[in-house]
Structure formats: structure tokens, C-alpha cells
């Protein structure tokens, strides 16, 4: 079985969010980059767990990004990917990125394509669905559990207010979230092995962008907290009722 | 030209987030000088002509029984066909689970630009630009769509429901869905509770509550207010509360009118999931807790002393 795991690079969860160039660019100076947590903790680790159960599983990683994504993809290899492809392109538009991933997947013969639930910087939750459509594959989103049973995928997915178990035939695209796997850290052996694992850089396929980012904005700062004495909590209830008018 | 809004339903009932999407879509239609129509898939129990109240002129109903379970591939095929038949140039979804699964597929199929997680009406000055939430609620991006057909998924609680008088014309639409290749085995719902992402008020507890046995403080207040309950990741990881209640960067992102945080420190990853809430109340015994910087109202105090008094005051308020 061949699994393609989509890996993206995001600023660390504690990174300060600011913009430059007239608010058109993320201020990346001094920012620590990480593997998008959903891609690492859930999509990738689940793929590794499946490989541990069935050694014939092959894990290919794909990322769309510039050379600065290489340390991220090396870390993913250290965790347990077998080989990686980086499509050498900076894309801000989801359709463009999805087209690149679909381009890599098109003749790869993948049984499963795993993505994270969403990127924590772009928050599109879009790439998985787009890739599935471009490849005419089934798509199960927001999965919390994924197992193979007799050549079929059994997936538990989140639905509004609950969960649903469904069985899907391969090939299949799955977006992964909490529940799928337990996060792990790379060990020394993995890190050493990752150095010699193949990381292929390919040129992008021609693809359109359907949207373009005009500018970024930071939310208005809160005017400051109104503190209420712990001796009179009922005052809080009065304010929520009379001033904020929400209860 | 028209605006087509996907009216999401669950077990035959239209969802609350749909009313927001309908109201939003009607306003987009007004701004772009066209009409707002809705599409509903699968058997429904609610009156569809009633959607006129939200500014909808026509409801296209595809009553196909094969559409009760959401299969993104089938939904996309049917909606794409409906877009064609109605000549819609703007398609709107709620940015809920169904919208997140279907809108991207539809975008790829129609080569229609998608703005996912919109928080504003489109700005039509010099194009079609929509503001969306990025960096897990810590910033916004203004994104313009540069294709003839445009798709927007609207963040929940980002646009108020607008009701007026009116009835919609209900039309049956026959579009055959491709056969689903998914087999649905079972569905489990957390019954009787407001889904967290749709809730207008959320009461949430953190490690400061010391253990699951003290969650009565959260639940009593939630029950009185008709609010949903949530928790920090630390609490879910300790198995004090179920994982589906965990909010934040790696849990659910919510934007209720009221987020009431008890014994939560307000770590940046927690704030990422709740900072779009309209009013934030924090009860924490540590005056230096970072959450106070993001709060509108706060009490520095011991939750075990403060909360019973808050609950009592709400009970009195509700009794009046
Ligand atoms: C990559 C990453 C992703 C993460 N994602 C998330 C996420 O999605 N959601 C999330 O919540 N966290 C997330 N975290 C964890 C986050 O950093 C915090 O560790 C977590 O939110 C802490 O939970 P807490 O506030 O309940 O606990 P604590 O940090 O232990 O805070 C407890 C608070 O309770 C107060 N307190 C104690 N006793 C009382 C009392 N008697 N009365 C009143 N107050 C009291 C204390 O002053 C303290 O502020 C993530 C972390 C990382 C690294
Ligand atoms: N540049 C990228 N390269 C590879 N995979 C990506 C990229 N961007 C997003 N993805 C994948 O798509 C998922 C959803 O991303 P998004 O639609 O941006 O929220 C992520 O969790 C990744 O698995």
C-alpha cells in the first residue's frame, strides 16, 4: 500500500503574528517554523503506525514550498516518512497548491492521501477536498480514526454534534485531526536515517490561482478587561445582562 | 446571475448555521443586484417555503434519498449541476463540517475561487474581495476572487440572522447523484446538547477546576443559560472531559457571543480557538493569567468561591 502524506510548514503556535510590506506579507523574521501540527501529529504519525503494522506500506511525503521548507520535510522524514517530494513553488492560493499535490499524486498509484484537518496559518481546510476532486477520488474529512480492513478503509469522522463510521474503497483522500494518533518525537536513529532518505525537488505543473490575497489585518485590540471584585460576583451577572446584554 | 446558498440540514431539519448563511447570501444578492436562491439536498421535514423569511426567493429541493449522508463527492456533483441549471455566479455555504468538505471540491470542479471562513460581506469596490479569518483567529486576510463563479464559506456566528416577512417558491429539482462509494456503518450523536460550534454561549473549564468531579460548576451555569460546555486541551488530555469539548488551536475554533472561561490560563494556543468570541469572561485566581489580557470581564478569585455565587445570581436573574 502506498500512502501520500501532505506536509505543510507553519509558524510555531506561539509565533507573533505581524505583517510587513504594507500589510501584504507575513513578517517571518525570527519566526520558528514547524510542521503543521495536524499534518505531523495525525496524518503522518497515523501513516507511520500503519507502516509499523504492515511493513509493505510505503510513505511518500509531499510539500509545496520553497527551499526553506526542507528542514520541515527532513523532520517529517526523521519521524518515519520513506521519501519526499518538494514542489518548488510558493503558492498562497489553495487551488494552486492542490493542483501541485494532485500533479505529484496523479501517476503515483497512491491508495491513501492524508492531509491535516487544516493549516494553522492559512486555515483553509480546503486542500484535501480539492485534491480529491482533481483526482476524482473519494474524500472523508475530519477523520478521528482510520484503519484498514480487508482492503477497505474504515474511517470514523466528525459530523455536526457527533461521529459517524463509514467504510470507503481505495483510493481515498482523508483529512486528519485529533484522535487519529498519538504525537511522537523523532529519535536519533530517525534523524540520522533521514539524512540519506531521498528528497526530490520538482518544478511546479502549470496551474491557475483562483484567488489572491490583497492584504492582512490584525484584529482591533480589546479595550481592556473590566475587573469585578471577587466579593461581588453578582455584579458580573448584572453587567452581562445590562451592559453587554448577552444574558 | 444569482446567489445560490446551500441550506444544510440534519435529520430533516435546517441547521442554525444555515440561517446565517441564508441571511448573508440574501445580503450578497442585494449588494450584487441579483436574487438569492437556496438548494436543499435529501428529504426534509421543515417547511422550505419558510426560508423566504431570510430573503430567499426560490428553494431548489433535490429530495433524493441517497443524499441523507454527506458524501462530498456526491454532494459536489449535484450542487455543480444545480449551479449550472440556476446560472448562479456566487455559491455560499456555512463553514461547518459539510461546507468544509464540499465547498473545496466544488471550487476545484468549477474552477471557482473559494474564500473559506469568511467573516465579512464582499467588498465590491474594484472586484470581489472578502475578509477571512487566518492565523487561527489572530489575523484577517482580505482575499479577492478572480474567477467568474465565486464560492464563500461563512464562519459560524460571523453574520447575524436577519428575518423579515416572505415566502420562497419551492421547486423540485431532479438531478441524479452519482452512486456513493461510501458505506455508512453507524452514527453517534451527543444528544440533547447544543453543538459547540453553533452555540451562542459557551462555558468552559480548565485545569484550575482540579478534577472532573467539579464540573458541576460549569454544567450548572451552562444549563441555566442554555449554553454549551467546553474545556482546555490540558483537561481533555487528562481525560476529565471528552475530546470533542476541547477548544483551541488543535481543537475546535468557536466564536460564540459569550465565552466564559473558568480556571483556564489563556495560553496562546487556547486563545487561538476562542479569540473571535464577542464577549469573553475570565475567572482565574491568578491576576497575572494571560487570559485577562484577552478578556472583556474578569474576576480575580477562587473559582470554587466565585462560581456558586455567579450561578446563584444567574438563577435569580432567570427567575425574574
Ligand atoms: C502545539 C500546541 C497546541 C496546543 N493546542 C491547544 C489547544 O488547542 N487548546 C488548549 O486549550 N491548549 C492547547 N495547548 C496547550 C496550552 O499551551 C496550555 O498548556 C493549556 O491550554 C493549559 O490548559 P489550562 O489553562 O486548563 O491549564 P493551566 O495552564 O494549568 O492553567 C490553569 C489555570 O487555572 C488557574 N487556577 C488554578 N486554581 C484555580 C482556582 N481555584 N480558581 C480559579 N482559577 C484557578 C490557574 O491560575 C491557571 O491560570 C497547545 C499546546 C501546544 C504546544
Ligand atoms: N503547501 C502545502 N504543501 C503540502 N501540503 C499542504 C500545503 N498546504 C496545505 N497542505 C495540506 O493540506 C491540509 C489543509 O490545508 P489548508 O487547506 O491550507 O487548511 C494541511 O493540513 C496539509 O496537510
User: Tell me, what DSSP letter sits at residue B16?
Assistant: H
Instruction: Mark out the alpha helices in B33-123 (DSSP H runs).
Output: 72-86, 97-110
Mean pLDDT of B56-72: 91
A7 CA → ligand 2 middle, Å: 6
Q: Report the alpha-carbon angle B101-B106-B109, nearest 5.
A: 135
**C-alpha span between A78 and A185 (Å, rounded):** 9
pLDDT at A182 over 90: no
User: Among partner residues B113, B144, B190, which is closest to A214 by beta-carbon distance?
Assistant: B144
Query: What confidence score (pLDDT) does residue B106 get?
Result: 98
pLDDT at B317 over 90: yes
Contact A126 B72 (CB under 8 A): no
**Contacts of A64-70 spanning 24+ positions with Cβ under 8 A:** A64/A8, A64/A89, A64/A91, A64/A97, A64/A100, A64/A101, A64/A204, A65/A8, A65/A9, A65/A89, A65/A90, A66/A90, A68/A9, A68/A33, A69/A9, A70/A199
**C-alpha span between A111 and A5 (Å, rounded):** 11
CB B156 within 8 A of CB B257: no
Residue A21 burial by Cβ neighbours in a 10 Å radius (0-12, 13-18, 19+): exposed
Which grid cell is A107?
A: 501517476
pLDDT in tens, B166-216: 999 999 999 989 999 999 999 887 766 677 888 999 999 999 999 999 999
Mean pLDDT of B265-287: 96
Closest approach of chain A CAs to the CA of B169, in angstroms? 28
Which grid cell is A170?
A: 481505495
Identify the band that residue B94 occupies on the pLDDT scale cut at 50, 70 and 90.
Answer: very high
Least trusted range by pLDDT, from A63-67, A170-174, B192-196: B192-196
Query: What confidence score (pLDDT) does residue B287 get?
Result: 96
Which atom from ligand 1 is nearest to the alpha carbon of B234?
23
Query: What confidence score (pLDDT) does residue B52 get?
Result: 97
Q: Percent of chain B scored above 70 by pLDDT? A: 99
A95 touches chain B (CB under 8 A): yes
Which grid cell is B286?
A: 491568578
B290 touches chain A (CB under 8 A): no
Mean pLDDT of A109-123: 97
Contacts of residue A115, defined as CB under 8 A and 6 or more positions apart, other chains included, come to: A5, A6, A39, A43, A127, A128, A131, A173, A174, A175, A176
- Of B77, B82, B39, the C-alpha closest to B61 is B39
- Of A204, A200, A198, A202, the C-alpha closest to A81 is A198
| CA distances (Å), origin B269, targets A10, A57, B130, B140, B264 | 14, 34, 26, 17, 12
Q: Which residue of chain A is at minimal alpha-carbon distance from B72?
A: A139
Residue owning the nearest CA to atom 12 of ligand 2: A127
Q: Are strands B13-14 and B9-10 parallel, antiparallel or unpaired?
A: antiparallel
| Mean pLDDT, rounded, of chain B | 94
Contact B183 A167 (CB under 8 A): yes
Mean pLDDT of A35-42: 96
Least trusted range by pLDDT, from A195-199, B28-32, B56-60, B61-65: B61-65
Query: What confidence score (pLDDT) does residue B191 get?
Result: 61
CB A144 within 8 A of CB A152: no
Question: Can B2-172 and B196-319 be said to share one CATH topology?
Answer: yes
Q: Percent of chain A scored above 70 by pLDDT? A: 100
CB B183 within 8 A of CB B144: no
Can you give the C-alpha Rg of chain A in angstroms? 21
Which grid cell is B72?
A: 462530498
**C-alpha span between B232 and B247 (Å, rounded):** 6
CB B283 within 8 A of CB B265: no
Mean pLDDT of A71-77: 96
CB-side exposure of B101: number of CA atoms within 13 Å?
A: 27
User: Among partner residues B70, B76, B116, which is closest to A124 by beta-carbon distance?
Assistant: B116
Task: List domains and CATH numbers for chain A.
Answer: 2-219 (3.40.50.620)
Q: Which residues of A touch B116 (CB under 8 A)?
A: 94, 123-126
What number is the ipTM of this complex?
0.92
pLDDT in tens, A216-227: 999 887 789 999
Which grid cell is A91?
A: 503558492
Which phi and psi (to 5°) does residue A243 adopt?
Answer: -95, -55
Mean pLDDT of B218-235: 96
Q: Are strands B297-300 and B279-284 parallel, antiparallel or unpaired?
A: parallel
Which grid cell is A111?
A: 491508495
| Residue-range domain boundaries for chain B | 2-172, 196-319
DSSP, residue by residue, B25-46: HHHHHHHHTSEEEEEEES---S
pLDDT in tens, B105-154: 999 999 999 999 999 999 999 899 999 999 998 999 999 999 999 999 99
A91 touches chain B (CB under 8 A): no
Neighbouring-strand partners of residue A20: A25
SS3 A102: helix
User: Tell me, what DSSP letter sits at residue A40?
Assistant: I
Fold of the CATH domain B196-319 = Rossmann fold (3.40.50)
Q: Percent of chain A scored above 90 by pLDDT? A: 88
Tally DSSP H helices, then E strands, for chain B.
Answer: 8, 17
Mean pLDDT of A47-73: 97
pLDDT at B68 over 90: no
Identify the band that residue A102 occupies on the pLDDT scale cut at 50, 70 and 90.
Answer: very high
Q: Which residue of chain B is at minimal alpha-carbon distance from A171?
A: B181
Which phi and psi (to 5°) does residue B188 adopt?
Answer: -125, 130
Query: What confidence score (pLDDT) does residue B188 get?
Result: 87
Identify the band that residue B289 occupies on the pLDDT scale cut at 50, 70 and 90.
Answer: very high
Q: Which residue of chain A is at minimal alpha-carbon distance from B182?
A: A168
Q: Which residues of B touch A162 (CB under 8 A)?
A: 187-190
Q: Which residues of A touch B298 (CB under 8 A)?
A: 225-228
**C-alpha span between B80 and A238 (Å, rounded):** 50
| Mean pLDDT, rounded, of chain A | 95
Which grid cell is B17?
A: 448555521
Cis bond leading into B73, ω under 30°?
no
Q: Which residues of B touch A158 (CB under 8 A)?
A: 97, 244
Contacts of residue B316, defined as CB under 8 A and 6 or more positions apart, other chains included, come to: none
Query: What confidence score (pLDDT) does residue A99 get?
Result: 98
Query: What confidence score (pLDDT) does residue B192 get?
Result: 61
The domain over range B2-172 is classified in CATH as 3.40.50.2300: no
Query: What confidence score (pLDDT) does residue B197 get?
Result: 86
Amino acid at each position: 500500500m502506498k500512502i501520500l502524506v501532505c506536509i505543510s510548514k507553519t509558524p510555531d503556535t506561539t509565533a507573533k503574528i505581524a505583517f510587513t510590506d504594507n500589510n501584504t506579507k507575513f513578517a517571518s523574521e525570527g519566526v520558528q517554523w514547524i510542521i503543521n501540527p495536524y499534518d505531523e501529529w495525525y496524518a503522518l504519525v497515523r501513516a507511520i503506525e500503519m507502516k509499523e503494522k504492515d511493513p509493505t506500506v510505503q510513505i511518500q511525503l509531499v510539500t509545496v514550498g520553497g527551499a526553506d521548507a526542507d528542514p520541515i520535510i527532513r523532520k517529517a522524514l526523521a519521524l518515519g516518512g520513506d521519501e519526499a517530494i518538494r514542489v518548488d513553488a510558493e503558492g498562497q492560493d489553495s487551488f494552486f497548491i492542490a493542483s501541485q499535490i494532485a500533479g505529484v499524486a496523479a501517476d503515483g498509484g497512491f491508495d491513501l492521501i492524508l492531509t491535516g484537518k487544516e493549516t494553522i496559518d492559512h486555515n483553509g481546510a480546503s486542500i484535501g477536498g480539492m485534491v480529491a476532486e482533481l483526482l476524482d477520488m473519494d474524500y472523508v474529512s475530519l477523520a478521528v480514526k482510520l484503519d484498514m480492513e480487508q482492503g477497505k478503509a474504515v474511517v470514523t469522522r466528525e459530523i455536526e454534534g457527533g461521529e459517524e463510521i463509514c467504510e470507503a474503497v481505495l483510493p481515498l483522500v482523508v483529512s486528519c485531526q485529533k484522535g487519529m494518533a498519538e504525537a511522537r518525537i523523532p529519535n536519533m536513529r530517525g534523524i540520522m536515517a533521514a539524512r540519506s532518505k531521498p528528497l526530490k525537488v520538482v518544478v511546479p505543473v502549470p496551474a491557475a490561482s483562483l484567488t489572491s490575497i490583497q492584504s492582512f489585518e490584525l484584529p482591533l485590540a480589546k479595550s481592556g478587561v473590566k475587573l469585578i471584585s471577587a466579593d461581588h460576583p453578582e455584579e458580573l451577572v448584572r453587567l452581562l445582562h445590562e451592559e453587554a446584554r448577552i444574558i | 446571475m444569482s446567489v445560490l446558498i446551500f441550506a444544510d440540514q440534519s435529520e430533516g431539519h435546517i441547521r442554525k448555521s444555515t440561517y446565517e448563511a441564508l441571511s448573508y447570501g440574501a445580503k450578497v444578492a442585494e449588494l450584487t443586484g441579483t436574487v438569492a436562491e437556496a438548494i436543499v439536498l435529501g428529504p426534509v421535514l421543515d417547511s422550505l417555503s419558510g426560508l423566504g423569511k431570510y430573503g430567499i426567493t426560490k428553494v431548489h429541493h433535490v429530495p433524493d434519498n441517497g443524499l441523507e449522508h454527506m458524501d462530498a463527492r456526491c454532494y459536489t456533483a449535484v450542487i455543480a449541476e444545480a449551479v449550472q441549471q440556476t446560472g448562479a455566479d456566487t455559491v455560499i455555504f456555512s463553514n461547518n463540517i459539510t461546507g468544509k468538505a464540499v465547498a473545496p471540491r466544488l471550487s476545484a470542479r468549477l474552477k471557482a475561487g473559494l474564500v473559506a471562513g469568511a467573516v465579512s460581506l464582499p467588498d465590491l469596490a474594484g472586484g470581489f474581495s472578502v475578509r477571512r479569518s487566518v492565523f487561527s483567529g489572530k489575523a484577517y486576510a482580505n482575499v479577492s476572487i478572480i474567477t467568474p463563479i465565486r464560492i464563500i464559506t461563512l464562519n459560524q456566528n460571523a453574520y447575524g440572522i436577519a428575518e423579515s416577512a416572505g415566502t420562497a417558491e419551492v421547486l423540485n429539482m431532479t438531478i441524479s447523484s452519482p452512486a456513493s462509494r461510501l458505506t455508512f456503518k453507524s452514527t453517534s450523536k451527543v444528544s440533547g446538547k447544543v453543538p459547540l460550534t453553533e452555540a451562542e454561549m459557551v462555558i468552559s473549564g480548565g485545569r484550575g477546576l482540579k478534577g472532573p468531579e467539579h464540573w458541576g460548576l460549569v454544567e450548572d451555569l451552562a444549563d441555566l443559560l442554555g449554553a454549551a460546555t467546553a474545556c482546555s486541551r490540558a483537561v481533555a488530555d487528562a481525560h476529565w472531559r471528552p475530546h470533542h469539548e476541547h477548544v483551541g488551536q488543535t481543537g475546535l475554533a468557536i466564536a460564540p457571543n459569550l465565552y466564559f472561561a473558568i480556571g483556564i490560563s489563556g495560553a496562546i494556543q487556547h486563545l487561538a480557538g476562542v479569540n473571535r468570541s464577542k464577549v469573553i469572561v475570565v475567572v482565574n485566581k491568578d491576576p497575572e493569567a494571560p487570559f485577562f489580557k484577552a478578556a472583556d470581564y474578569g474576576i480575580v478569585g477562587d473559582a470554587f468561591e466565585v462560581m456558586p455565587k455567579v450561578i446563584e445570581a444567574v438563577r435569580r436573574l432567570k427567575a425574574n
